Amino acid sequence: MGDERGIRTWIKEPLAILASEAGSGIVVEDDRIVEHVPSGKSPSAPIDAVFDARNHVVLPGLINTHHHFFQTLTRASPRAQNKSLFPWLRSLYPVWAHITPEWLAIATRVALVELLKSGCSTVVEHHYLFPEGLDAAIDIEVEAVRELGLRAVLTRGSMSLSEKDGGLPPHTVVQAEDCILADSERLLNRYHATHDGAMLQIALAPCSPFSVTAGLMCESAELARRHNARLHTHLSETNDEIEYCLQHFGRRPLDYIESLGWLADDVWVAHGIHFNDEEIARIGAARMGITHCPSSNMVLASGCCRALELEMAGALISIGVDGSASNDMSNLIVEARQAFLLQRLHEGAENIGYRDILRWATEGGARCLGRTEIGSLIPGNQADLAMFRVDDLAFAGAEDPIAALLLCGSHYADRVMIAGEWRLIDGEVPGLDMANLISEQRVASRMLFSKANWAS
Distance CA 225, CA 185 (A): 11
318 and 303 in a single domain? The answer is yes
Predicted confidence pLDDT, tens digits, the chain (456 residues): 445 678 999 999 999 999 999 999 999 999 999 999 999 999 999 999 999 999 999 999 999 999 999 999 999 999 999 999 999 999 999 999 999 999 999 999 999 999 999 999 999 999 999 999 999 999 999 999 999 999 999 999 999 999 998 888 999 999 999 999 999 999 999 999 999 999 999 999 999 999 999 999 999 999 999 999 999 999 999 999 999 999 999 999 999 999 999 999 999 999 999 999 999 999 999 999 999 999 999 999 999 999 999 999 999 999 999 999 999 999 999 999 999 999 999 999 999 999 999 999 999 999 999 999 999 999 999 999 999 999 999 999 999 999 999 999 999 999 999 999 999 999 999 999 999 999 999 999 999 999 998 876
Listed residues 368, 391, 410: the one ending a domain = 368
Determine the number of helices (DSSP H) and then strands (DSSP E) in the chain.
15, 17
Distance CA 262, CA 35 (A): 39
Closest C-alpha among 322, 324, 325 to residue 339: 322
22 and 72 in a single domain? The answer is no
The domain total for the chain is 2
Pairing of strands 25-29, 32-36: antiparallel
Cα 236 to Cα 173, 270, 291, 302, distances in angstroms: 22, 8, 12, 10
- Which residue type sits at 331? N
Listed residues 325, 342, 368: the one ending a domain = 368
- Residue 15 belongs to a domain with what CATH number? 2.30.40.10
407 and 344 in a single domain? The answer is no
Residues in contact with 83: Cβ distance below 8 Å, sequence separation at least 6, in sequence order: 91, 300
Residue 431 resides in a domain: no
Closest C-alpha among 80, 187, 76 to residue 136: 187
Residue 47 resides in a domain: yes
Residue 452 resides in a domain: no
117 and 259 in a single domain? The answer is yes
Q: Are 240 and 276 in contact (CB under 8 A)?
A: no
296 and 389 in a single domain? The answer is no
**DSSP one-letter code for 2:** P
131 and 19 in a single domain? The answer is no
296 and 334 in a single domain? The answer is yes
**DSSP one-letter code for 264:** S
Residue 447 resides in a domain: no
159 and 227 in a single domain? The answer is yes
79 and 146 in a single domain? The answer is yes
**DSSP one-letter code for 163:** G
H-state helical runs in 265-353: 277-286, 294-299, 307-313, 332-347
49 and 68 in a single domain? The answer is no
Residue 2 resides in a domain: no
- Residue 352 belongs to a domain with what CATH number? 3.20.20.140
Q: Say how many C-beta atoms besides its own lie within 10 A of residue 193's C-beta.
A: 11
42 and 186 in a single domain? The answer is no
Q: Are 31 and 197 in contact (CB under 8 A)?
A: yes
- Which residue type sits at 351? N
φ, ψ at 185 (rounded to 5°): -70, -40
Say whether pTM exceeds 0.95: yes
Listed residues 338, 368, 398: the one ending a domain = 368
Distance CA 337, CA 205 (A): 27
182 and 73 in a single domain? The answer is yes
Supply the range of the domain harboring residue 404. Answer: 8-60+377-424
